[in-house]
């Protein structure tokens, strides 16, 4: 399988604003966030579908996702954190964490989603980084 964009990020070939990393999982800010603070949680092992992950890595992915969601709730003003496993855009298992207050904030037209500035991503990463 050809390396996905997420595998290239894991390998350090493409930069990202990391908010969490351990031996099996990497979490970073989405550069085209649905809402500011939108995080992608990815296993370092490239498989297309979350349910194809080995059980131990799947469990670790979900545990890290929960930790990050709870941390986001403490650090951000939004009341809710949306968790989604979609998998249509990148053929590499991943979980989206998106802060929001109203469900309408999750339904943006793709033309409304723009690339975040480096400055805003760095500031958000500083706020959301979770040490292992």
Q: CA–CA separation, 47 vs 77, rounded Å?
A: 34
DSSP assignments along 64-117, one per residue: HHHHHHHHHHHHSS-SEEEEE---SSSSS--EEEEEESSGGGG---GGG--PPP
Q: Can 96 be counted among the known catalytic residues? A: no
Q: Residue 58: which of 39, 78, 43 has the closest Cα?
A: 43
Catalytic option among 38, 71, 94, 96: 94
**Catalytic residue positions, numbered:** 94
């Amino acid at each position: 399988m050809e390396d996905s964009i997420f595998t290239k990020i894991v390998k350090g070939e493409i930069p990202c604003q990391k908010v969490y990393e351990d031996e099996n999982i990497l979490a970073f800010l989405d550069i085209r966030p649905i809402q500011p603070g939108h995080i992608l949680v990815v296993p370092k092992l490239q498989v297309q579908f979350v349910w194809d992950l080995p059980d131990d890595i799947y469990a670790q992915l979900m545990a890290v996702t929960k930790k990050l969601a709870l941390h986001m709730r403490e650090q951000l003003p939004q009341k809710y954190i949306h968790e989604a496993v979609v998998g249509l855009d990148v053929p590499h298992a991943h979980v989206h964490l998106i802060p929001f207050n109203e469900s309408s904030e999750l339904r943006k037209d793709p033309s409304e989603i723009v690339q975040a500035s480096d400055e805003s991503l760095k500031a958000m990463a500083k706020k959301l980084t979770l040490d292992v």
